[in-house]
């Protein structure tokens, strides 16, 4: 279901701070931190090209990776990363240490299927309220996306989280209500009068 884990080689960083981060970036490296699992954070540096490739490949935030820090392999999940707004360059990454029984909170993208079997086929408009849903998942089975089936839905229908079949062990972060993921609405401009009369 989820992407196969991949491995990144890292070096532990002795010096931490703005100056050393700039120096790393000049040398094609990205500063990062691994934290969590009740252990001291480790400051590391990663190969910028490899990481940028991973980010652009998609699924970065929902894939557990193995980071090899000077020979010690650590399972991690990316929690956050900062891009340089000007140069689309990865500035920094936070990784969370995970083990097989870790529960993690992840924003998972929503995919819609069977639009052609719903009112969208006759001009209804899919109004997406949430493009991602925050889920609690076991670290070793994070869904790459969740699927909302639009088949047989009519104009005016709302699709809630209860319409989604979530994998075992995966639960929404919001539990106090059956929140809306999308609605099917009439076209904004409305259908012209003549057409309505003919119908």
* Final residue belonging to a domain, choices 98, 131, 159: 98
Looking at the fold, whether 129 and 47 belong to one and the same domain comes out as: no
The tens digit of pLDDT for each residue in 120-140 reads 999 999 999 999 999 999 988
> What does the pLDDT read at residue 19?
75
Please identify, among 47, 69, 98, the residue that sits at the C-terminal boundary of a domain: 98
* 150 plus 119 within the same structural domain: yes
Q: Is residue 63 domain-shared with residue 139, that is, in the same domain?
A: no
Q: What is the pLDDT of residue 83?
A: 81
Q: Please say if the pLDDT value at position 52 is more than 90.
A: no
8 Å CB contact between 140 and 64: yes
Residue 194 has pLDDT above 70, yes or no: no
Give yes or no: residues 189 and 124 share one domain.
Answer: yes
Q: Is residue 17 assigned to a domain?
A: yes
Domain that holds residue 44: 7-98
- How far apart, in whole angstroms, are the C-alpha atoms of residue 103 and residue 114? 32
Q: What is the pLDDT of residue 199?
A: 45
Alpha carbon distance 35, 181 (integer Å): 32
Residue 1 is assigned to a structural domain of this protein: no
Residues 142 and 156 in one domain: yes
pLDDT for position 82: 86
- CA within 13 Å, CB half, 199: 7
At 130, which CATH number? Answer: 2.170.120.20
Residues 180, 155, single domain; the answer is yes
Supply the pLDDT for residue 196: 47
114 and 193 in a common domain? yes
Indicate whether 92 and 109 sit together in one domain.
no
Which of 78, 98, 118 is the endpoint of a domain?
98
- Which of 6-10, 99-103, 130-134 comes out lowest in average pLDDT? 99-103
> Could you tell me which of 101, 114, 105 has the C-alpha nearest to residue 75?
101
Query: Is 0.85 topped by the overall pTM?
Result: no
* 70 close to 12: Cβ distance less than 8 angstroms: yes
- The domain tally of the chain equals 2
CA angle 60, 64, 66 (to 5 degrees): 110
């Amino acid at each position: 279901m989820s992407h196969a884990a991949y491995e990144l080689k890292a070096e532990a960083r002795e010096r931490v701070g703005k100056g050393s981060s700039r120096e790393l970036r000049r040398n094609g490296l990205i500063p990062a931190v691994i934290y969590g699992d009740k252990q001291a954070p480790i400051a590391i540096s990663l190969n910028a090209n490899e990481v940028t490739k991973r980010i652009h490949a998609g699924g970065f935030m929902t894939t557990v990776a193995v980071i090899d820090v000077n020979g010690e392999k650590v399972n991690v999940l990316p929690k956050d990363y900062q891009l340089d707004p000007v140069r689309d360059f990865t500035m920094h990454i936070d990784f969370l240490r995970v083990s097989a029984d870790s529960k993690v909170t992840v924003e998972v993208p929503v995919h819609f299927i069977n639009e052609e079997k719903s009112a969208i086929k006759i001009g209804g408009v899919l109004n997406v309220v949430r493009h991602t849903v925050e889920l609690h998942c076991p670290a070793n089975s994070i869904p790459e996306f969740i699927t909302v089936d639009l088949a047989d839905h009519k104009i005016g229908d709302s699709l809630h989280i209860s319409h989604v079949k979530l994998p075992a062990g995966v639960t929404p972060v919001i539990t106090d209500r059956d929140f809306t993921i999308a609605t099917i609405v009439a076209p904004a401009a409305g259908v012209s009068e003549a057409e309505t009369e003919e119908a």
